[in-house]
Structure 1
C-alpha cells in the first residue's frame, strides 16, 4: 500500500473517531487524489451517519485493500457503477450483516429500495452475482439491500420461514429484517412509497411473510421458487409443502401486489406453491387470469398469468417457466441456483415493482 495513502487514511480514521467528519472527508479526498496536502474541509453530506465522497470514476484507482479501508471507515464514494458496501443492523434483539448496493444516482432524489433475500447455502455476494440485480438497479436508479443469514441462526444459511416464531409482525427474523430495512431508509435518501422485497426459495418464502406482516412498509413482493406466508409452522409441515405443494396458507390476505416466478420442473419446491403464493399474498384476484405465452429463440418458454382486481388494476403476476428447475430465471452462471436460459426474472420484478408504488392511505 502507498505509504502516503496509508498515513492519510490513518489520519482520516482518527478524525472520524473524534467526530470531525468534515476534516475526515477532506483527508480521504486527498488520499484518493494522491496528494500530501489536505484541502479545505468539504461540507458534511446530508445523509446522517455516512461520509459521502463524490469523485469522477476516472479518479478512483485504489487497490481493493485501500477500498476496504474506506468501507471500514463507513465511507461511501460514488463511481459510475455505484458502490457495494457492508453493514450490520437489527431490531435490538437480533442483528445480521448486510450488503447494500448504492447506485450512482444516490443523493440526487429519493430512490426506490429493493430488499433481496438469498436462498439456503447462499450469501449476499453470491445472490447479487447470480441475479445481476445490482446491474439492473444501476440502470433504473435503485438501492438494493442484501441481508445475510447467519449460520448460527440456521446451519444451512436458510431464513427460518417455516418456524411460527418468525412469521408475524414484531417477532423473529421478520421483525429483524423490517428493522434493517428501516435502518437503511433512515440513512439514505429512499422513497418510502417504493420499498420492495424479493427472494429465492427460503428467501422467497420469507419475502412473502414480510409482505403479509408489513404491508405498510413493502409496496410489492417478489417470490421466486418460494412458498406462501403461512405455508408451514414447523419443519415437518415445511417439508410436506415443499414436496407436495399442499400448504396451510389461506387466501385473501393483505392485497400487496405480488409477482411470482417458478419453474414447472422444480424438484425442490413443488410448482403448485407458486399459485398458493398468489392466492395468499395478493388476495381478491380474479379466478380466470389472462395468460400470455412468451417464446424466444434459444430461451425457455414461459406463461405469464396476469391477475387483475375488479377495477382492472394488476394485483399479481405468476410466471411459470417451462422446463426450469429450482433456479433464478435468467440469472448469471456467476452465482448459484441460476437458470441463464430462462426469462429475466430480475428485469421483470423490477418492472413490476416500479409499476406498484405504495398508495397513500
Structure 2
C-alpha cells in the first residue's frame, strides 16, 4: 500500500487530517480530486492522506474490509493506515484531536473498521455506500453483507466495542451516505449502519431531526448531551458511489461520482466541526 499526501495551499497550524479511502479499481489521487477533497483542504487548511491499495493486496484494488487480518488494530491494512496517521502527527504536527477518515464502497467499509479499531485516533468518519463493521469475515460473507445483513442495534454495537474492548472513551461522529438505487451495495445497509453507530453512542434509532434536501432526506441522531453524533443521508435515485454537487464542489464525469446536489465531503466536515 502506498501513501499519497495532498498538502493544502496554506496549511493551518495544528491542522486537521483527513484520511480518504478510494473504492475498488480506483486511483487514490483521482478519487480525491473528483470527490472535491483537494478543494476542501485548500479552503480549510487541512491535510489529506490518500492510501492507495495495490493489486498485490487485492486484484481489484479493493481494501480488504472483510478480512480480519486487515481490519484489526495493529495488523494488516488497518495497521498500515494507522502508521500513516502516526507519520503525519510526527512530521507535520497535525492536531491529534482532529483526525478523520472518509471512504466510499470498499473504502467506506474500511473506514468503519478504522473507526472501530482506532476510536482513540479518529474523531469522526464518513461512510458512503458502505456496510456495517463486523458483517463479514471472508470473501464469501462479503457478498452476503453487501446484499444486506439484518442485526439488532445492540448486536452491531457489540461488534464495534469488541474491536477494542479496553477502550472506554468517546466514539467518532459518523456521516453516512447511501443511494436508494444502489445496484451494488444494498441500500438496506444504511439502516444497519445507523443502528450500529447510534447504539455505539448510546443514542436511539429514532431521528431527532429530519430535513428534506430536494428529493433527499437527512436524518440526525443526537446523544444524551444533545450533540449530533450520526447523520444519515438517504439519496433518492442515486446508484452506487459518492454524492457530489458540482455547483459547490466535486467533479462529475467519472462513473461513481453522482451530481445529486449533495456534496458528501463538505457535509462530513461540517458534522466533524472543521471550520
TM-score (normalizing by structure 2)? 0.87
| Partner residue, 1:14 | none
* Helix, strand or coil at the partner of 1:193: coil
Distance 2:15 2:146 in 1: 36
| Partner residue, 2:212 | 294
| Partner residue, 2:93 | 189
Q: 1:259, CA displacement in angstroms?
A: 0.8
Closer, same or farther: CA 247–159 of 1 in aligned 2, 3 Å:
farther
Give CA deviations for 1:164-210 in whole Å, capped at 9, x if unaligned: 21121111111111111111221113111100001000000000100
Question: Where in structure 1 are there 5+ consecutive unaligned residues?
Answer: 1-95, 357-361
Superposed counterparts of 1:216-295, under 5 Å:
216-246=120-150, 250-251=156-157, 253=160, 255-282=171-198, 283=200, 284-295=202-213
| Partner residue, 2:234 | 320
Identify the match of residue 270 of structure 2 among 324, 330, 351.
351
* Helix, strand or coil at the partner of 1:347: helix
Distance 1:295 1:312 in 2: 23
Q: 1:280, CA displacement in angstroms?
A: 2.3
Distance 1:350 1:336 in 2: 24
RMSD over aligned CA atoms reads 1.9
| Kept in 1: contact 2:241–2:258 (CA 8 A) | yes
| Kept in 1: contact 2:3–2:51 (CA 8 A) | yes
| Kept in 2: contact 1:231–1:247 (CA 8 A) | no
Aligned residues between the structures: 256
Distance 1:247 1:118 in 2: 27
* Helix, strand or coil at the partner of 1:114: strand
Q: Does 1:101 align with 2:6?
A: yes
- Displaced runs of 4+ in structure 1, greater than 4 A? none
| Kept in 2: contact 1:167–1:229 (CA 8 A) | no
Superposed counterparts of 1:1-80, under 5 Å:
none
| Partner residue, 1:31 | none
Between the two structures, name the one with larger relative contact order (CA 8 Å, sep ≥ 6). Answer: 2
Q: Which structure is larger by alpha-carbon Rg, 1 or 2?
A: 1
Distance 2:213 2:14 in 1: 37
Distance 1:177 1:236 in 2: 25
| Kept in 1: contact 2:194–2:205 (CA 8 A) | no
- After TM superposition, the structure 1 stretch with the greater mean CA deviation from structure 2, 125-134 or 245-254, is 245-254
Closer, same or farther: CA 346–312 of 1 in aligned 2, 3 Å:
same
Q: Does 1:159 align with 2:63?
A: yes
* Helix, strand or coil at the partner of 1:244: coil
Q: 1:114, CA displacement in angstroms?
A: 0.4
| Kept in 1: contact 2:180–2:238 (CA 8 A) | yes
* Helix, strand or coil at the partner of 1:218: coil
Q: 1:245, CA displacement in angstroms?
A: 4.0
Superposed counterparts of 1:173-188, under 5 Å:
173-188=77-92
Distance 2:218 2:125 in 1: 16
